[in-house]
Amino acid sequence: MNPIFITGIGTDVGKTIAAAVVTEALDADYWKPVQAGYATGTDTLTVGSLVSNPQTTIHPEVYKLSTPASPHIAARNEGLTIDLATIQSAAINIENGIQDKPLVIEGAGGLLVPLNEHETVADMILALRAKVILVSRNYLGSINHSLMTANCCRTYGIPVLGWIFNDDYMQYEQEIVDWTGYPSLGTIHRLEEISSSAIQALALQMKPALMKAINRTT
């Protein structure tokens, strides 16, 4: 099975919660190759605290950078260069070890966030042969950002499984589905408490749509 890559229409749109839900729903492994900024904790630790099924393994980051900035800037501040071949090699090792389980990969920011001076998150998705779930959060301007993200996927030839929507600002979901042609996999309404039980409930709701999307593109 191709890895499933969780990316968003921007920063702080709910990728990590969506990744936890998808990981829980599919009994998958989770991996965030590049973490930029961890003063308040990492996305890897967050997902590890929210996923409760015993099949999931949480894999460590390849690049764990302290600066909360675009990965290429965070790496530069630490005297490093993010190397896509190194990430590819780590992915091969993970995939060889998990056999038939899916691997959920969480990106950093959106598709065109630079990893180094020449490559972006979109290039990483292609290098990892991943299929994408797009995360959109409902806010003023999110239709534009969502359509641009979908157009970027088509330009790069990135296969898309569908959308996961976040938040409760108006009802933009069907507009985005109609304009892009990518199906909705579910909505994560604003949670009073982000807990493993909430993630379990969302995973149960979303699993049929996830499985349908995966089987459709297999």
Q: Residues 32, 101, 131, 207: which is the catalytic one?
A: 32
Q: Tell me if residue 32 is catalytic.
A: yes
Distances in whole angstroms, Cα of residue 95 to Cα of each of 31, 34, 106, 112, 115:
11, 17, 15, 25, 22
Long-range contacts of residues 147-150, Cβ cutoff 8 Å, at least 24 apart: 147/176, 147/179, 147/180, 148/9, 149/7, 149/8, 149/9, 149/110, 149/111, 150/179, 150/180, 150/182
Q: Is the dihedral of CA 75, 81, 84, 87 positive or negative?
A: negative
Distance from C-alpha of 122 to C-alpha of 67, rounded to nearest angstrom: 21
Q: Could you list the active site residues?
A: 32
